[in-house]
Amino acid sequence: MKSLPFIIDGHLDLSMNAMEWNRDLRQPIKTIRTFEKGLKDKPDRGNSTVCFPEMRAGNIGLCFATLIARYAKPKHPLGGWNSPEQAWGMVQAQLAWYEEMERQGELKMIKNKSDLKTHLDRWKNEDNYKSIGFVMTLEGADSIVTFDHLYILHERGLRAIGPAHYGPGTYAYGTDSDGSIGDKGEELLGIMEDLGMVLDATHLCDTSFWEAMDCFQGTVWASHSNCRSLVDHNRQFSDEQLKALIERDAVIGMPLDAWMMVPNWKRGISNPKNTKVTLDLMINNMDHICQLAGNAKHVAIGTDLDGGFGKEQGPSDVDTIANLQKLVEMLRKRHYKESDIERIFSGNWLRMLAEVL
């Protein structure tokens, strides 16, 4: 529905869902859920919220879409691929899927300013144009076997990297761990800066965060992170970190994973209704950052929907990603100006993209 406000989602694991969850995102959400009925291999089976038809229905015409494949060294707390080369192989499979979806007209990779302008013009003005735009990002850099591999990915469209995911990584330490970026991490950030790539500070542990912010002088954003003052966990940003990001003119996307929105969430026990998880909690995180900044120029949407969770671990008022449009009236009731709603929905991310494409 292109008459609805235009939305950019700053973090979606589209290729992971296609290649590891085996979801055909061209299909209606009902079809995907029906196909998964009875499957138990993933905790979110039958509860998916994202597919191309629902993105179009919600006028989500652009997103930051990930490549993700974690290399898990022995005793890694969450596991993953057993070598960087295997992680690289999975990234290639995910990239091949993106490229095939582009060939079929389902998606459009945005590599430069011209791509972005053309896509936005066509999305707004052509009724039959259905290609959802995406800026390709890398969540966790473990699959970069050598720096030659980084140059290959950049050439094929990669524009932003979050150096770490969960646990200790090759180039930084991530969520639920702590440690230095080290020489390899510093070298990675140097090459990214030379290439004009974005540092996504999401998932960096506190030590790696501050080291990365010190040594990287390029554009920084946080695609999907909430506030530690509202849910006290190392996955969230402290006020000090948020202020540092604001000083760098960064934008922080608000995610919808319930455990990041309400304290004391217990996986497999808590549910969105008995913990009262709604989109209002997303706005609470926006409010907190806006108060720190004194404006609405540093918050945006970065849902992480279907990032290993579905309806069972998301806001109770979100059945599919199209329900992001509910935020319009909710933000108005919180006395957000129309210009600020536009910034949150798309304008702030577009300002970031103007710097790096």
Q: Output the pLDDT for position 101.
A: 98
Q: Output the pLDDT for position 1.
A: 62
Contact 111, 102 (CB under 8 A): no
Residues 6+ apart with CB under 8 A from 301: 7, 8, 9, 10, 253, 254, 324, 327, 344, 345
Is 80 exceeded by the pLDDT of residue 75?
no
Name the pLDDT band for 295 (thresholds 50, 70, 90).
very high
Is 70 exceeded by the pLDDT of residue 299?
yes
Name the pLDDT band for 77 (thresholds 50, 70, 90).
confident
Is 70 exceeded by the pLDDT of residue 246?
yes
pTM: 0.97
Q: Output the pLDDT for position 324.
A: 98
Name the pLDDT band for 78 (thresholds 50, 70, 90).
confident
Q: What percent of the chain has pLDDT over 90?
A: 96
Per residue in 171-229, pLDDT (tens digit) is 999 999 999 999 999 999 999 999 999 999 999 999 999 999 999 999 999 999 999 99
What is the fold, at CATH topology level, of the domain defined by 7-356?
TIM Barrel (3.20.20)
Among residues 14, 182, 208, which one has the least CA distance to residue 98?
14
Name the pLDDT band for 154 (thresholds 50, 70, 90).
very high
Average pLDDT, the chain: 97
Contact 218, 197 (CB under 8 A): yes
Parse the chain into domains and list their residue ranges: 7-356
Contact 130, 152 (CB under 8 A): no
Mean pLDDT for 235-258 is 98
